[in-house]
Amino acid sequence: MKGNIIKYLFILFVIFIIIFAVYKMNFESKKDGEDSKSNVQEALLQESSNLNIGIANFDNINPIITQNRDVINLSTILYEPLLSITTDYKIELKLVREWSKINENTYVIKLKDDLKWDDGSKISANDVTYTIEKLKEKKSVYSDNVSNIKSAEVVDSTTIKINLDKEEAFFEYNLIFPIISKDQFSGEADFFKSRIVPKSSGMYKVVSASTEGLELEENNNWYQSEKRKINKVKIVFCSTMGDAYNSFKIGNIDMICTSNINIKEYIGTIGYLGKDYKGRELDYISLNCERNILSRKEVRQAINYAIDKNKIISSVYGSEYYVSSFPLDYGSYLYNKESTSSYNKNQAKKVLEDAGWKYKYESWYKTENYRTTTIYLDLIVDSSNKQRVKVAELIKKQLEDIGINVYLYKVSNSSYKSYLKNKNYDMIITGVYNGYSPSLEYFLGKDNISNYKNDEITNILNDLKNISDETQIKEKYKRIIEIYEDEQPFICLYRNKLKVIYSMKLTGDFTPNSYTAYYNLKKWYRQ
């Protein structure tokens, strides 16, 4: 009997062990499943907050030293400037709390309170004057921004006084260069050979740097409190743009900035998104308004109507350029006209006929005071610039199609520079890397390249040096544009096109512009 009880108890114990083991296995399995699910969710969340960017031909992360356009773009999310540019080309306060012009050659800049570098140390006026000093010391992409600065003085820890060599309209547009830390670089023997990663004042900071790339994370000491959807950014160094395209194709990077518009040739037909935006390279024809024939506005108007800008772009550059009608970029709050070609052969002939010119023996001529003038014009182009040579040949043909005779001179680079410097030409094809400032002094001011003189424009340009009211500025520019379109002292041709391509997994407010391809990055996220 006793043996049977022991036997039954043993059987019950075994059953209990089995039941417990099964329960344990189910529990652990469920827990593992939940943990696995949690890990997957965490991994997906982490991936959704990361961004991988490819940069080709990386040279230096220091924005004062680098010559790489992609690094300059990148610096806008790492190093804050004093001021920046909005999408409609207005001034936007960054490190600056306020600025004022106290006389024709002096500005006072006041920094925001409690600005910090990513390590928590204070950003001060000393950092600003040090940055200006370095920009003036050696050639930098921002050197032109400070070329008119005579001196920069520290007034107190948050105040800087800037003295100019000469009065400059819209000088504040120059203050868009990134600021670096004086304390961080004060011990460097040769600043311009330094490989130190500058402290960050922007929305992200560099947490690691290697020969393969950079790791960026949110800068918690950034003065703006806005939450970013992208928490981490990985910068992948690519030896060439070809390597960058390949990395993009296999999904290792999410985004590339490129000047190559025909991008499908390089990445194929894989799914991607892209945004085109205008660059800062502007080509135009300068017309020497002091020459007898070109002093007559009807001739300048006829030349403008005779040039088919769209045909020039498609023949020489494919789709890589935008038609340009004015030095200011379309989208500027001061120029809201879509740039279009004014090509009209019939109108070109009409403006000449209406002004008394007659067409005979394949030439336009006009008799005044018993003296006959025939339209013959020289066109100068730099022979070393093969694309501009093609443009010049097309312009010659287009002008001759309406009866304007053109002698094309393809000259050496040194001769070209001499023609340009001495203004010894009728027409010359040239170009400029346009600044962000809406100032038109270079094109229409004293000693402009076209020898154009107009008292009303001169007075307007002088007025603009002392006007800060936006409504008044707009009215002044409206009048300048009206005069320009009527007088046509030079002819804008085209400006370059840039492109951002990015993964279809990325979404948000993508609004790249010539100031930065990463405009509004804080609003981007992965799907």
494 Cβ neighbours under 8 A, 6+ residues apart:
282, 283, 309, 312, 313, 317, 321, 322, 323, 324
* Residue among 204, 203, 232, 247 at smallest CA distance from 54: 247
More confident residue, 87 or 459: 459
pLDDT number for residue 77: 95
Asked if 380 contacts 425 with a C-beta cutoff of 8 angstroms, the reply is: yes
- Report whether 319 contacts 499 (CB < 8 A): no
Model confidence at 43, pLDDT cuts 50, 70, 90, reads: very low
Which is nearest to 286 in space by CA: 413, 387, 432?
A: 432
Half-sphere exposure of 175 (CA within 13 A, CB side): 29
Cβ-based neighbours of 251, under 8 Å, separated by 6 or more: 503
Over residues 82-92, mean pLDDT: 92
The whole-number pLDDT of residue 290 equals: 96
Residue type, 105: N
What CATH number belongs to 280-498?
3.10.105.10
Q: What is the pLDDT of residue 488?
A: 97
Contact present, 113 and 223 (Cβ < 8 Å):
no
Closest CA to 103 of 24, 168, 26: 168
What confidence tier does 34 reach under pLDDT thresholds 50, 70, 90? very low
Q: How far apart are CA 434 and CA 339, in angstroms?
A: 16
Alpha carbons within 13 angstroms on the beta-carbon side of residue 1 total 0
Tens of pLDDT along 370-426? Answer: 899 999 999 999 999 999 999 999 999 999 999 999 999 999 999 999 999 999 999
- Mean pLDDT value across residues 2-13: 56
Question: Are 51-77+202-272+503-527 and 280-498 the same fold in CATH?
Answer: no
Q: Domain spanning 51-77+202-272+503-527: which CATH class is it, in words? A: alpha beta
Q: What is the pLDDT of residue 269?
A: 73
Q: What is the pLDDT of residue 519?
A: 87
- pLDDT exceeding 90 applies to what percent of the chain? 69
Pick the CATH number of 79-199 from 3.40.50.300, 3.30.365.10, 1.10.3720.10, 3.90.76.10: 3.90.76.10
Is 35's pLDDT higher than 50? no
Q: pLDDT at position 171, please? A: 96
Residue 299 and residue 341: Cα distance in Å, rounded? 18
Q: What is the mean pLDDT of residues 57-61?
A: 94
Query: What value does the mean pLDDT take over residues 507-511?
Result: 85
Of 286, 324, 280, 277, nearest to 437 by C-alpha is 280
Distinct helix (H) and strand (E) counts, the chain: 15, 22
Question: Could you report the per-residue pLDDT of 167-194, keeping only the tens digit for each?
Answer: 999 999 999 999 999 999 988 888 999 9
> Could you tell me the pLDDT band of residue 37, with boundaries at 50, 70 and 90?
very low
Over the stretch 124-146, which tens digit does the pLDDT of each residue have?
Answer: 999 999 999 999 998 899 999 99
Which pLDDT value is given to residue 36?
A: 43
Alpha carbon 423 to chain centroid, angstroms: 30
Does residue 38 have a pLDDT over 50? no
- The proportion of the chain whose per-residue pLDDT surpasses 70, expressed as a percent, equals 91
pLDDT at 270: 76
User: How many whole angstroms separate alpha carbon 323 and alpha carbon 145?
Assistant: 27
Higher-pLDDT residue of 64, 259: 64
Question: Looking at per-residue confidence, does 10 or 441 come out higher?
Answer: 441
Question: How far apart are the C-alpha atoms of 320 and 30, rounded to whole Å?
Answer: 58
Q: Work out the angle at residue 364's Cα, subtended by the Cα atoms of residues 360 and 369, and round it to the nearest 5 degrees.
A: 100
Q: Is 309 exposed, middle or buried (0-12, 13-18, 19+ CB in 10 A)?
A: buried
Pairing state between β 405-411 and 376-382: parallel
Contact yes or no for 159/111 (Cβ under 8 A): yes
pLDDT score of 395: 98
pLDDT value at position 5?
Answer: 59
Residue 1 has pLDDT above 60, yes or no: no
Nearest to 337 by CA among 319, 347, 323: 323
Output the pLDDT for position 16: 57
Instruction: Give the residue from 89, 107, 111 showing the smallest Cα distance to 98.
Output: 111
Domain spans of the chain, in order of start: 51-77+202-272+503-527, 79-199, 280-498
DSSP letter at 201? -
